[in-house]
Amino acid sequence: MTFARQFIAQNLFACLLVGFCIEAADVGVVAQNSDILSKRPIVMRTFDRDTNESTISALLVDPQSDEYRGMWVYSSDRPPPSVRFHSVEYKYSGSAPTRPQTVAFVFVPLEKYKSAPNFSITADSAVLQEGDTSLRELCCVKINGSSANPQHIVVTVPMETFDRITRADKVEFKLTSKRGKYSFKLNDYKRQCLLALVNTME
Q: 65-78: per-residue pLDDT in tens?
A: 776 666 666 566 77
Q: pTM higher than 0.75 for the full model? A: yes
β-pairing, 118-123 vs 126-132, is: antiparallel
Question: What is the per-residue pLDDT for 21?
Answer: 44
Burial 68-100 (b: 16+ CB within 10 A, else e): bebbeeeeeeeebbebbbbbbbbbbeeeeeeeb
Cβ(53)–Cβ(64) below 8 Å: no
Read off the pLDDT band of 12 (50, 70, 90). Answer: very low
Q: Which residues pair with 45 in a beta bridge?
A: 35, 56
Question: What is the per-residue pLDDT for 143?
Answer: 55
Give the range among 104-118, 131-145, 148-162 with minimum mean pLDDT: 131-145
- More confident call, 20 vs 194: 194
| Tally of structural domains, the chain | 1
pLDDT surpassing 50 at residue 40: yes
H helix count then E strand count, the chain? 5, 13
Question: What is the per-residue pLDDT for 126?
Answer: 96
Domain with 122, as residue range(s), is: 3-201
pLDDT surpassing 90 at residue 130: yes
